[in-house]
Amino acid sequence: MVTQRHKVTKKSNNEIGFPILRVFVSLCGIRHVLVLLAFLLFGNITYADETPYGRLADLLPRDARWALVAIDMQTGKELASAGTAIKEPLVPASLVKLFTAGAVLDHRDRRGTLDLMTTILHDGEIKNGTLHGNIYLRGRGNAFLSESDLKEAARKIVGMGIRKITGSVVADDAFFDTKGLERTRKGAGHAPAGALGLDLHTVAVTVTPTEPGKPPMVMVEPPNDAVRLAVEGRTTATGVGNVKVMQIDDASYRVSGNIAAGSAPMKWRFALHDPARYASGVLNSELKRLGVVVEGKVREGRTPDSAQILAGIDAPPLETVLRDMNVNSLNVVADNLLLLLGAEKYGAPGTREKGLGVVNEFLETLGLSEGEGAIVDGSGLLEGNRVTSGYLAHYLHKVSQKPWFSMFRDSLPRAGIDGTLRDIGYRDERFRAKTGRLENAFALAGYGVDGKGRGTAFAFIVNMPGASAVNLERSGAEVMRYLAENQ
């Protein structure tokens, strides 16, 4: 039973006004009047027993289209269903990652593997310490590939006695075709998907003060000899710093303004436009640092079928990949996993359409209501994604019956503790949930408990113009607080 909690403000008799209303209040009670007013003001509100609407609706703007659905994990029955858009498919933003994670785990469970290995290969022959050919860096979507991974691989190459490469270091990201995925948004959180790239397909530029009057020290990570820096800034003895870093392209950065002596280093992170070429540049730079002569230039190309393996670089364990994806809402990881699903099921290259085919096949096996969900990418960045809150809540309940459910649930951040839920305004480690945020959407879905400690799956989606400019996190906190206090 869900207990209703309406915010009631005491009114005088003069404010009530009409005799017929006073009679209605006396016959039916103030609770029913408030429910009626809520319906008149906010539209279609359905509920199981009583609506969980009260305090939550007070936090939402009047033009918001929203829905909350909560389900008993034991019985699968709806405990609560409230909102102005109960049956309307809404933009779920990053909640799409919940579908991607489920499809990935189901795929791995059926096939036994999910291959994210990055491989270094060569053509030609190795003779007297010289590789008469090219080195190929071939990716399969591990966005967590790191500088240290490539350093270790370079040491292995040197350990094989190679001191000279007559060809090039070649970037091979042909395993994916990324057409159709979101590429318009700017910033490190929106780096492009791709089969090959380092550090979530980003680069970091750190500016550290030196002595007054001198240029600051600038460091680029991962280091790449192709990067050029225009350092126009200065270290100042006093005053407030105004240092800025501008990305001109992947290999060009301008540092301007001042940074105060003694202040902490400042870091900027940028999305790379061509993460595969940058990654190969990092390997090329590391080989040269170890004394290997590379005569050719870094370029892009496909690995020939006859190429031989020099080294393999494993991705982190799948549970780590999914947890980082969901806790920190990593878009590039989610879209890479979608492309990988398509490649593994239907053959390379992995495409958005192939990956969506795998996700939709997985969703069909769960017996969810048709017409209430449409998924168009792996990350939730595309606004063509649409689901009802009920569809998502029932999905969460269905996957709880899968053998991989504990890994799925553990991939979600804990309320008030981890990742995107750390600062939501409510702390309760019994709640694990995924957030979603876009320009016109806020969403929250996951698992929690009710007032009696019973397991609950819930989904809360809000769509409204300018949602990103409004503190809708308060409404997400209120959802979890309400569920924990009621039954």
CA 207 from centre of chain? 27
Per-residue pLDDT band at 9 (split at 50, 70, 90): very low
Query: At residue 6, does pLDDT exceed 70?
Result: no
Question: Could you tell me the CA-to-CA distances from 363 to 126, 356, 367, 381, 385 in Å, in that order?
Answer: 50, 10, 7, 20, 14
Question: 6 and 34 in contact (C-beta within 8 Å)?
Answer: yes
Query: At residue 311, does pLDDT exceed 50?
Result: yes
Torsion sign (Cα): 137, 140, 146, 148: negative
- Amino acid, single-letter form, for residue 378: G
CA 204, CA 208: separation in Å to the nearest integer? 13
CA 154, CA 428: separation in Å to the nearest integer? 45
The lowest-confidence range among 189-193, 202-206, 240-244, 297-301 is 240-244
> What's the average model confidence in pLDDT over 458-472?
94
Per-residue pLDDT band at 113 (split at 50, 70, 90): confident
**What per-residue confidence (pLDDT) applies to 296?**
97
**What per-residue confidence (pLDDT) applies to 145?**
98
Average predicted confidence (pLDDT) for the chain: 89
Question: 164 and 131 in contact (C-beta within 8 Å)?
Answer: yes
Neighbours of 452 (CB within 10 A): 8
pLDDT per residue as tens digits for the range 403-454: 999 999 999 999 999 999 999 999 999 999 999 999 999 999 999 998 888 8
Per-residue pLDDT band at 19 (split at 50, 70, 90): very low
**What per-residue confidence (pLDDT) applies to 125?**
96
CA atoms within 13 A on the CB side of 135: 34
With H, G, I as helix, E, B as strand and everything else as coil, classify residue 475.
helix
**What per-residue confidence (pLDDT) applies to 54?**
64
Domain boundaries of the chain, sorted by first residue: 13-112+319-485, 117-314
Instruction: Could you please state the CATH topology (level 3) that the domain comprising 13-112+319-485 is classified under.
Output: Beta-lactamase (3.40.710)
The lowest-confidence range among 22-26, 109-113, 237-241 is 22-26
The lowest-confidence range among 9-13, 63-67, 71-75, 229-233 is 9-13
CATH superfamily ID and name for 117-314: D-Ala-D-Ala carboxypeptidase C, peptidase S13 (3.50.80.20)
CA 170, CA 138: separation in Å to the nearest integer? 8
Query: At residue 391, does pLDDT exceed 90?
Result: yes
Query: At residue 382, does pLDDT exceed 70?
Result: yes
CA 116, CA 121: separation in Å to the nearest integer? 16
pLDDT per residue as tens digits for the range 25-83: 343 443 343 333 333 333 333 433 344 456 777 788 889 999 999 999 999 999 889 99
What is the b/e burial string over 137-146, where b = at least 16 CB atoms within 10 angstroms of the residue's CB?
A: bbbbbbbbbb
Neighbours of 63 (CB within 10 A): 10
Q: What is the DSSP string of 357-377?
A: HHHHHHHHTTTPPTTSEE--S
CA 235, CA 263: separation in Å to the nearest integer? 10
